[in-house]
Amino acid sequence: MKKKLISVALVSAMLIGCLSACGSSSGQGDNGKLYVYNWGEYIDEDVIEQFEEETGIDVVYDMFETNEIMFAKLAQDTSAYDVICPSDYMIQKLIEKDMIQPLNFTNIPNAKNIGDEYFKNSEVFDPGNRYSVPYCWGTVGILYNKTMVTDPVNSWDILWDPKYSGQILMQDSVRDAFMVALIKNGYSLNTTDPAEIEKATQDLIAQKPLVQAYVIDQVRDKMIGGEAALGVIYSGEAIYTVRENRDLEYVVPDEGSNIWIDSWVITKGSKNVSNAEKWIDFMCRGDIALKNFEYITYSTPNIEAQNNIEDEDIKGSKVAFPDLSTMKLEAFKYLGDSGDKLYNDAWMKVKSAN
């Protein structure tokens, strides 16, 4: 879900010319197509049809399961897609690798509906908010079954309790898995200290015999079906699961967690820039953002949409819209190729351990 050390002044100077070019490039969008790459089950499909009907643009829509899968595909050809929806740290990586382009916000007027606090959090990975527009956001925590867990769930430590052996679900994602172990030990989830990463690695290896499975989307279904007692999950998934199974409850442990933001960006090689701008602007409409939120249950940063939520329980939900000022939260950053290698090598040790 989530480097730029380039000076703001330099980027600003570059942006003046780039935005003008982006807004007027001949042939951009003339073919009536738009190639979108998004997370699985991350949009109301009726929204895609509505966009096509209102604009006359034919959408070719593909889905990915992880940021890393998306990056590998885009690295082969940045023109394969026009608009994509990466997470925070991956947006930072795409900027540093020169794989996405600055946005012309003149052509995205509905971006005004995105709350200031979300753009503020985006500054961590997109200084000046020049490349991205927030789409969904949330936290990562523990989902547990109240009929199966008898202990207080307020610490990541419970995921190492032998009492729940075979009943624990972990995220099959290097950064998310290490986030749990790092924060449990009081470390930053963005650490590049080899000793801290090694400590987290050994903890994850020690935990491995207790883990039923390393999964991603399947956490939701397994927890709803009562197949596990505890699972690491994204807050948006938790909202859905609690609707389906009232025995489930979601908490962000006291030690803290990750706050993530997924945002729309336009690829550097996009052949349909004007259509991509229309797409992002459409997604920022209050009615569309609300429709997507009601369908996917991931928290929307769109203030107009938030104000029009009719379900008072959801509107006041501390899972969907928590008071961020009361929580210890940290966003993922891109740690460079050397940082990636540290974590990937450590993850390989965890996955290959007996």
CATH of the domain at 159: 3.40.190.10
Query: Which 8-state DSSP code applies to residue 142?
Result: E
pLDDT digits 0-9 by tens, 38-68: 999 999 999 999 999 999 999 999 999 889 8
2 occurs within a structural domain:
no
Together in a domain, 245 and 149: yes
86 occurs within a structural domain:
yes
Question: DSSP assignment of 182-232, as one string?
Answer: HHHTT--TT---HHHHHHHHHHHHHHGGGEEEEESTHHHHHHHTTS-SEEE
Asked if residue 26 has pLDDT above 70, the reply is no
100 occurs within a structural domain:
yes
- The structure's pTM equals 0.84
Together in a domain, 245 and 161: yes
Together in a domain, 227 and 347: yes
181 occurs within a structural domain:
yes
Asked if residue 2 has pLDDT above 70, the reply is no
**pLDDT at position 313, please?**
87
Q: Mapping DSSP to helix (H, G, I), strand (E, B) and coil, where does residue 33 land?
A: strand
**pLDDT at position 28, please?**
44
What number of residues does the chain have? Answer: 354
Distances 69 to 29, 37, 126, 196, 321 between C-alpha atoms, Å: 26, 11, 21, 27, 29
Together in a domain, 249 and 339: yes
Together in a domain, 20 and 124: yes
| Per-chain mean pLDDT for the chain | 91
**pLDDT at position 155, please?**
98
Together in a domain, 131 and 107: yes
**What confidence tier does 4 reach under pLDDT thresholds 50, 70, 90?**
very low
Together in a domain, 222 and 300: no
Domain holding 287, by residue range, is 8-135+262-319
324 occurs within a structural domain:
no
Together in a domain, 315 and 333: no
**pLDDT at position 21, please?**
38
Together in a domain, 66 and 126: yes
Asked if residue 22 has pLDDT above 50, the reply is no
Number of domains in the chain: 2
What value does the mean pLDDT take over residues 224-241? 96
Together in a domain, 44 and 99: yes
**pLDDT at position 354, please?**
86
Do 256 and 330 touch, CB atoms closer than 8 A?
yes
Together in a domain, 82 and 225: no
- Give the gyration radius of the chain's Cα atoms: 20
**pLDDT at position 13, please?**
36
Give the residue, 11 or 291, on which the prediction is more confident: 291
Asked if residue 20 has pLDDT above 60, the reply is no
Together in a domain, 54 and 158: no
1 occurs within a structural domain:
no
What value does the mean pLDDT take over residues 319-336? 92
